[in-house]
Amino acid sequence: MYQQKLLDAFVQGGLVPLFTHHDQDLAKQVLDVAYEAGIRVFEYTNRHDNAFKIFKNLRMHAEKYPDLFLGIGTIFETEDAQKFLHAGADFIISPAMIREVATFCQSRGVFYIPGCATVTEVYYGKKQGAKLIKIFPGNVLGTAFVKSVLSVIPDIKLMATGGVEPNEANLKSWFNSGIHCVGMGSQLFDVKALEKGDFQGLKNNIEQSLTIIQNLKK
């Protein structure tokens, strides 16, 4: 039930922001703006030395949003998966198909999204319980890869990450290929603008992307 609820949130929203920054207050502000713009699934990415501290504070900050799912990305080790789960992560995402992490998450009923770049990896991800597979890097694999995967494993749900852009042409190409949702990082966030306190561009990007995605899903 929990896994299905999370899967539904990913697919229905269609867009997952992937954000990382070493500044705690900035991370909270970004989360607030994303929520206000309509985001209900948010990934904080584990790429800074203080990422665990930031995430713990972000998790507490997000308690005021009971319908928001907050997870952690760029997890390579089982120890890190365990640590972030104890800190309240709703889901775990990896850039690769890591069997040890997949096995750990499967044994505890945790929603795990592996990053896959071959049909073999997608197959093993599904075998190890993944309900959603991240196609990564999307800008290298492209929409043709998505179509090829779905032609042989039609019952798996896919999320494209890497090179996805917040514009109609790019999003249309991805969703027309059969993707179920997209993850957006650097294309969505103008970090320099955010550091100056300008969050309007981010809000506009998210709102426009969500509108495009919902129209494409009709």
Mean pLDDT value across the chain:
96
| CA distance linking residue 62 with residue 31, whole number of Å | 8
pLDDT band for 50, please (50, 70, 90 cuts).
very high
Q: What is the arithmetic mean of pLDDT over 70-76?
A: 98
Q: How far apart are CA 1 and CA 166, in angstroms?
A: 31
pLDDT band at 163 (very low <50, low <70, confident <90, very high): confident
SS3 label, residue 140: helix
Bridge partners, 157 (sequence order): 132
Separation CA 119–CA 33 (nearest Å): 36
What is the pLDDT averaged over residues 137-158?
97
Closest CA to 169 of 193, 143, 136: 143
> CB-based burial of residue 40 (10 Å sphere; 0-12 exposed, 13-18 middle, 19+ buried)?
middle
d(CA 161, CA 153): 19
Average pLDDT value for residue range 54-59: 98
- The pTM of the full predicted model, rounded to 2 decimals, is 0.96
Distance CA 16, CA 10 (A): 7
Q: Per-residue pLDDT for 218 more than 90?
A: no
**Does pLDDT of 151 surpass 90?**
yes
State the architecture of 2-217 in CATH terms: Alpha-Beta Barrel (3.20)
Q: What percent of the chain has pLDDT over 70?
A: 100
Q: How far apart are CA 72 and CA 202, in angstroms?
A: 20
Q: Where are the domains of the chain?
A: 2-217
- Sorted by sequence, the CB contacts under 8 Å of residue 40 that are 6+ apart come out as 9, 13, 67, 68, 69
Q: Could you tell me how many helices (H) and strands (E) the chain has, helices first? A: 10, 9
